[in-house]
Amino acid sequence: MQTIRTLEALRSGIAEFRDAENGGGAAIALVPTMGALHAGHIALIEAAKRPGRKVVASIFVNPKQFGPNEDLSRYPRKETADLAMLKAAGCDLVWLPPVEAMYPADFATNISVSGISDGLDGAARPGHFDGVATVVAKLFNQVRPDLALFGEKDFQQLAVIRRMVADLDFGIEIQGVPTQRDDDGLALSSRNVYLDAEQRAAAVALPRALGVAAKAITRGDDPETALDAARDTLTAAGFAVDYVELVDAETLTPGSDARRERRLLAAARLGNTRLIDNLAVLPAEDA
Ligand code: PAF
């Protein structure tokens, strides 16, 4: 596995992978990450691996997607462990750009994907999805992959990236990978390490409340009643609820049309730790 820290070395590494005349000719799959890797990230690497493909992972804790009162400085950084996990998983190249290379002092561009970025996490974290779209566009231009993979746990992020890729003609296939969960159902997240033992025990209320609400909505119960019940369950478990909403799975607009695939999304805080999760609500005939 190559570990690369300059754009020049990245470009020549990618060119070698693609060089058909010298036995290359591979397609490139990119897995962008902020490090602090867990089994959810490894599932992305596994999903990326195919004969004839090279898998590139990036590790970059992107300052532009953290708000002024968010956890940038305490965000877990575990480079040595991350590299060992990526190597064991069969990643071919890791791109570790220094922050000065990503955002030199005169950096002036912002990518804003309006509409789909505005509600839900976008409302709770102003500017967050601009930061995500800007860094992902930059990573796409640096690596120039054929395919990029993102976890469905960050469902709004995935929708924002799909919209950006379509709008800006990136010509990159975007693959969403199902959320990986602990045995009790809690979605894996780099932020779970912030939870103390009591909070970790309480956190399971999040996937459980979503599961109950998704089942109720699928069997035809009133969605607002099901959403209110989920909010109450979370509050009773000690969460401060940011939102629990039912949206159209593609547009993320309020999801009243039961003939389309919908998604139940939630964000809630336990102490200083903000957790997000989501579940599919399939159209009645597919459920
Ligand atoms: O999902 C993440 O880890 C980040 O938001 C991403 C996509 C790597 C952009 O910084």
Determine the residue type at 78: K
DSSP string across 47-76: HH--TTEEEEEEE---GGGS-TTSSTTTS-
pLDDT at 128: 98
Residue 179 CB burial class (10 angstroms; 0-12, 13-18, ≥19): buried
- The closest residue, in CA terms, to atom 9 on ligand 1 is 132
pLDDT at 282: 85
The per-residue pLDDT for range 98-157, each reduced to its tens digit, is 999 999 999 999 999 999 999 999 999 999 999 999 999 999 999 999 999 999 999 999
Ligand 1 atom closest to the Cα of residue 58 is 8
Ligand 1 centroid to 58 CA: how many Å?
A: 9
Choose which residue among 30, 34, 64 to substitute to test ligand 1 binding: the one with the highest number of ligand atoms within 8 A of its C-beta.
Answer: 34
pLDDT at 257: 86
Q: How confident is the model at residue 226 (pLDDT cuts 50, 70, 90)?
A: very high
Ligand 1 centroid to 33 CA: how many Å?
A: 5
Q: Which domains does the chain have, with CATH numbers?
A: 2-177 (3.40.50.620), 190-279 (3.30.1300.10)
Q: Is the pLDDT of residue 286 over 70?
A: no
Ligand 1 centroid to 35 CA: how many Å?
A: 9
Q: How confident is the model at residue 209 (pLDDT cuts 50, 70, 90)?
A: very high
Q: How confident is the model at residue 287 (pLDDT cuts 50, 70, 90)?
A: low
pLDDT at 285: 64
